[in-house]
C-alpha cells in the first residue's frame, strides 16, 4: 500500500464552476498507483467541490443560476456581513455542497463516468486562489 499527497492551487475568476479534472487526473497518473482511493479536499469555507456533467456547459450555467436563486445575496437576511454581501451566502452554498470528494482510482485514473468532471465551485464574487489537497492511497 502506498500513499501520495499534493496541494493543487486553483485560481478562480469569481463565482462559478472551475473544472479541475485534468490536473487532478494528471497528478493521479503520475503517482504510479493503479488501484486506490483519491480524496480531494477543498481548504476553504466559501468554495466547494462537486462532480458534475462536463459535456454541456448549459448544465454549469443552470447549476450556478439555481444556487443564486436558492441562496440570495441580501445582507438583510444575515448577521455575518463584515466580509461583504456575498460572503455569508458563499458559506451557505458551501454547506449545501461538499468540501471533499472520494473517487475510486482504476488503472491509474480517477474512475469517473463518461460525462463526469471534478469542479471547484467558487461561491464568492471576486476571484481567489483556492487550495485543493489531493490524497491518494492504493497499490
- For each of the domains in the chain, give its residue range(s) and CATH number, in order of start: 2-138 (2.60.120.460)
Q: In whole angstroms, how far apart are CA 21 and each of 15, 65, 84, 125? A: 18, 22, 31, 23
Contacts of 25 (CB under 8 A, 6+ apart): 109, 110
Q: What is the pLDDT of residues 69-100, one digit of tens each?
A: 999 999 999 999 999 999 999 999 999 999 99
The answer to whether the pTM exceeds 0.85 is yes
| CA 111 – CA 136 distance, rounded (Å) | 13
Contact predicate 138/30, CB 8 Å: no
| CA 15 – CA 121 distance, rounded (Å) | 7
Cell match 479536499: residue?
A: 41
Q: What is the pLDDT of residues 10-69, one digit of tens each?
A: 999 999 999 999 999 999 999 999 999 999 999 999 999 999 999 999 999 999 999 999
Amino acid at each position: 500500500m502506498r500513499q501520495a499527497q499534493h496541494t493543487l492551487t486553483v485560481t478562480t475568476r469569481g463565482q462559478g464552476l472551475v473544472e479541475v479534472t485534468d490536473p487532478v487526473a494528471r497528478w493521479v497518473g503520475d503517482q504510479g498507483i493503479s488501484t486506490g482511493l483519491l480524496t480531494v479536499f477543498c481548504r476553504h469555507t466559501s468554495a466547494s467541490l462537486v462532480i458534475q456533467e462536463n459535456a454541456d456547459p448549459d448544465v454549469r450555467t443552470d447549476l450556478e443560476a439555481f444556487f443564486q436563486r436558492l441562496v440570495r445575496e441580501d445582507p438583510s437576511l444575515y448577521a455575518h456581513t463584515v466580509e461583504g454581501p456575498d460572503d455569508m451566502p458563499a458559506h451557505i452554498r458551501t454547506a449545501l455542497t461538499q468540501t471533499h470528494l472520494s473517487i475510486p482510482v482504476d488503472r491509474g485514473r480517477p474512475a469517473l463516468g463518461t460525462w463526469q468532471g471534478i469542479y471547484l465551485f467558487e461561491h464568492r464574487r471576486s476571484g481567489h486562489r483556492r487550495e485543493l489537497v489531493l490524497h491518494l492511497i492504493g497499490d
